[in-house]
Copies of this chain bind each other. A is one copy, B any other.
Amino acid sequence: MSAPIYGRVALIGLGLIASSMAHAMRRANLAGEITGHARSAATRETAAEIGLVDRVCDTAAEAADGADLVVLCVPVGAMEAVAREIAPVLKPGATVSDVGSVKRAVIEAVAPHIPEGVHFIPAHPLAGTEHSGPRAGFAELFDNRWCLIVPVENSDAAATARLSALWEGMGAHVDVMDADHHDLVLAVTSHTPHLIAYTMVGVADDLRRVTDSEVIKYSAAGFRDFTRIAASDPTMWRDVFLTNKEATLEILGRFTEELFALQRAIRTGDGDHLHDYFTRTRAIRRGIIEAGQDTAAPDFGRGAASARKEG
């Protein structure tokens, strides 16, 4: 087994991503010591109980003190307060990174607090499940997934390479992307789809002529996938939409435009328009399967590979 990439790694926030990082770093011996902090005492107790990290700390500053890498794994809206708290204890040459789903807002919130001599290198692993909390993590979460690294102005090349090596060691592929482009791409591939899924589940819940138990019993292919998405962490997603406002609103505008066109085709009985549209969308699906980001096995939310579930 090779030497750790970082001597000490601090995880601030101990949810799904941080706990998966802890498992993945241990799997490949990537960190000499892992410290961790969560704001909630219950979360800290759980983390200690399951031995998630080597040392659970009562404050973010205590966890970050002396760390070679500090990773902010809290909701985007909580990043600034954490950055302000840990700034005084960051050691020269250390790297601060994060795993937020939005990058421009994180940079604006965190960068001003980073002391001279400390590297700030934002990142975003594109991986997740609908579960939250320290027990939700598993070592394989990042395997064969992408982690987007979003360097800020004057990001140190050696520090960036080291962080990339960590993510690759946790099983991910690494790409580098500009913050604004990241936020637009994610608005398309993740943020807007989540908002739409939340909305559809809310509509189903509201409809008086269809009971909740009918919705639940007869949740055929289609709706079940939406409910899985809509079960994700509310605080994390609130912050995503509040901080990636412009890109989300832009994509939402295009979405409603297209939806209205399809709605008109339904109303006027334009079957050719519908058939052409539905045929075109098949090609994207094929591309995703060929890119190895999903399997061709039939699923529709029915079965999950339980083998991949760990802690």
Contact = CB atoms under 8 A, between A and B. Distances in A.
Contacts of A189: 204, 214-215, 218-220, 222-223
A186 B288 contact: no
A122 to B, nearest CB: 16
A6 interface: no
Interface in A231-251: 231-232, 234-235, 237-239, 241-242, 245, 248-249, 251
Nearest to A267: B249
A58 B125 CA distance: 54
Contacts of A222: 189-191, 193-194, 197, 229
A184 B212 contact: no
A188 B223 contact: yes
Interface residues of A, number: 115
Nearest to A230: B281
Contact of A308 (B184, B278, B303): B303
Contact of A218 (B185, B241, B305): B185
A278 B75 CA distance: 15
A234 B304 contact: no
Classify the secondary structure of A's interface with B.
Answer: helix
B284 A201 contact: yes
20 contacts: A130-B285, A186-B218, A189-B204, A193-B223, A196-B196, A199-B262, A201-B284, A202-B280, A203-B254, A203-B258, A206-B258, A227-B285, A228-B294, A228-B300, A231-B281, A238-B274, A297-B309, A298-B308, A299-B301, A305-B305
Given A130-B298, A184-B209, A227-B284, 14 more contacts: A126-B221, A127-B221, A196-B200, A199-B259, A204-B284, A212-B287, A224-B288, A224-B293, A231-B285, A238-B271, A249-B263, A298-B308, A299-B299, A302-B305
Interface of A: 77, 126-131, 136, 138, 145-146, 148, 175, 181, 184-186, 188-207, 209-210, 212-232, 234-235, 237-239, 241-242, 245, 248-249, 251-252, 254-256, 258-259, 262-263, 266-267, 269, 271, 274-275, 277-288, 291, 293-309
